[in-house]
Amino acid sequence: MKPDPFSPSDETHLHALADDRLPRAQAESLHSRMDSSQRQRAEAWAQQRAQLQTLHADWLRQPVPNVLVQAAERLQDAHDTQQHWARWGGFAAGWVLAFGLGWSLHATDGKQTTLATAPPQRFVQQAAVAHAVYQPEQRHPVEVAAAQQDHLVQWLSKRLARPLTVPRLQAEGFELMGGRLLPGGSGARAQFMYQNAAGARITLYLGALDGLQAAAAPTTAFQFHDEGTVSSFYWVDRGFGYALSGELPRPTLQALATAVYQQISAAPPAGARAPAKGS
């Protein structure tokens, strides 16, 4: 008789049990050999998994944001990957597209195909997708609320390895709601969310571009990007990208982006020459 390859002393195997990834016979065998502390750990992980699955269960009942649908459709047309995206599904494909694969696709032959997109353009596309995903959220629009702003700034500054400045936009009618940490490229990105009295929301997405990307675009002028219903003004300063996104008229969004840039550039950690105004 073959020995059971799954050991209760191996946390990888306990995680597989908690995630319900083991065949029934192997799961029962592993469970029968676990001591009380191992059972408690596995049960706690299973409860956490269930809580995470229900946390955003309402997303499954919401329509896929247009920006994700349009991005997936463009990549389908460019790379003839219709069967690939049909397997993944709309929302999952959009999320993996934006953050998990760094704007790349795995074709049916197993080879990776990368979309030929300029670094700043890729950055603002990711910013637009992040805005589309989190802007509609009512229960969890941010990870850390504005009431804990000091902690938020300290945490994100550490994760992005750069002292961050959170712009104040009360004069423009927008209050900070909070922020969150997001994946991007080979590092981390931050997103700050603001809301006005009418309930309109804007997001500031920022982070370092990858090494080669930063070398290709050390500084850029203000640029305008339109991704479905989401518009963005974005710029790159010394390899660090910024994108302000929202569903607002272009002049309004440009005025807000200008206010954001002026405050960031005035802070010593991010002080630099203002990028030229462009369209």
DSSP string, 107-164: -TTS-EEE----HHHHHHHHHHHHHHHHTT-SS-S-SEEGGGHHHHHHHHHHHHTS--
Residue 264's CB is within 10 A of a number of other CB atoms, namely 22
Q: What is the pLDDT of residue 237?
A: 81
Q: What is the pLDDT of residue 88?
A: 44
Helix, strand, coil percentages for the chain (3-state, nearest 5): 50, 20, 30
pLDDT of residue 226: 87
pLDDT category at 67 given cuts 50, 70, 90 is low
Number of H helices, E strands in the chain: 10, 9
> Residue 208: which residues within 8 A CB-CB, separation 6 or more?
160, 161, 162, 187, 214, 239, 240, 241
Is residue 57 very low, low, confident or very high in pLDDT (cuts 50, 70, 90)? low
- The pLDDT confidence band at residue 15, using thresholds 50, 70 and 90, is confident
Q: Distance between CA atoms of 126 and 142, rounded to whole angstroms?
A: 17
% of the chain residues with pLDDT over 90:
33
- Residue with the larger pLDDT of the pair 252 and 45: 252
Query: How far apart (Å, rounded) are the C-alpha atoms in residues 70 and 85?
Result: 13
- Digit-coded pLDDT (tens) for 30-53: 888 888 888 888 888 888 777 666
Selected residue with higher pLDDT from 6 and 190: 190
Report pLDDT digits (tens) over 71-129: 666 555 554 444 444 444 444 444 444 444 444 333 334 444 333 345 577 888 889 99
Residue 270: what pLDDT? 42
pLDDT digits (tens, 9 = 90+) for 146-187: 999 999 999 999 999 889 999 999 999 999 999 999 987 667
Cβ-Cβ contacts under 8 Å for 84 (sequence gap 6 or more): 105, 106, 107, 108
Looking at 166-218, list the stretches that DSSP marks H as alpha helix, in order from N- to C-terminal side: 211-216
